[in-house]
Amino acid sequence: MQDYQNEMFPDVVGITDADMIPDPKPEFTLSATPAFSPKSLFVDAEKCVVWQHTARDADKLVDADIRPLAESIKASDQQVPVRVRRLEDDRLEIVAGVRRWKAIRLLNDEGYPVKLLVQIVQMDEDAAFRFAAAENGPRSDLTPIERARFYQAAIDHQYHTGKACADAFGLHKASISRVLDVLRVLQFVGKKIDDHRAISAAQASWLMSLLRNVNDEADPTDEGFEGDRHAEVIAAIDAAAPGSAAEVFGQLRQALAPSHKDGGIDIVVDDDIILGSVTRSKSGAVRIAIGPEAGSVELPMLMASIRVALTTLRAG
- The amino acid occupying position 244 is S
Tens of pLDDT, residues 165-194: 999 999 999 999 999 999 999 999 999 999
Average pLDDT over residues 66-83: 94
- Is 208 a domain residue? no
Q: Which of 92, 115, 138 is the last residue of a domain?
A: 138
Would you state the pLDDT for residue 2? 41
- Residue 198, domain member (yes or no): no
Domain membership flag for residue 73: yes
> What pLDDT score does 279 carry?
85
What does pLDDT average to over the chain?
80
**pLDDT, tens only, 233-255:** 999 999 999 999 989 988 888 78
The residue among 138, 169, 199 that closes a domain is 138
Domain membership of residue 105 (yes or no) is yes
> Where residue 136 falls among pLDDT bands split at 50, 70, 90?
confident
87 falls within a domain: yes
Position 160 in a domain: no
Q: Of 108, 138, 168, which closes a domain?
A: 138
Task: Give the residue from 84, 92, 154 showing the smallest Cα distance to 125.
Answer: 154
Query: What CATH number does residue 109 fall under?
Result: 3.90.1530.10
Does 117 fall in a domain?
Answer: yes
Say which residue, 178 or 213, is predicted with more confidence. 178
Distance CA 129, CA 244 (A): 32
- Cα-to-chain-centroid distance, residue 156: 17
pLDDT exceeds cutoff 60 at 18: no
How does DSSP classify residue 269?
A: E
Residues 147-174 have a mean pLDDT of 95
Residues 40 and 125: their CA atoms lie apart, in Å, by 21
CA-nearest of 141, 85, 133, 76 to 107 is 76
Between these two residues, 280 and 109, which has the higher pLDDT value?
109
What average pLDDT does the segment 122-136 reach?
A: 93
Number of domains observed in the structure of the chain: 2
Range of the domain at 264: 260-316
What is the reported pLDDT for 270?
67
Work out whether the CA dihedral 149, 154, 156, 160 comes out positive or negative. negative
pLDDT tops 90 at residue 87: yes
Is 176 inside any structural domain? no
pLDDT of 265 above 90: no
Query: From CA 22, how far away is CA 28, in angstroms rounded?
Result: 6
- Per-residue confidence (pLDDT) for residue 31, from 0 to 100: 37
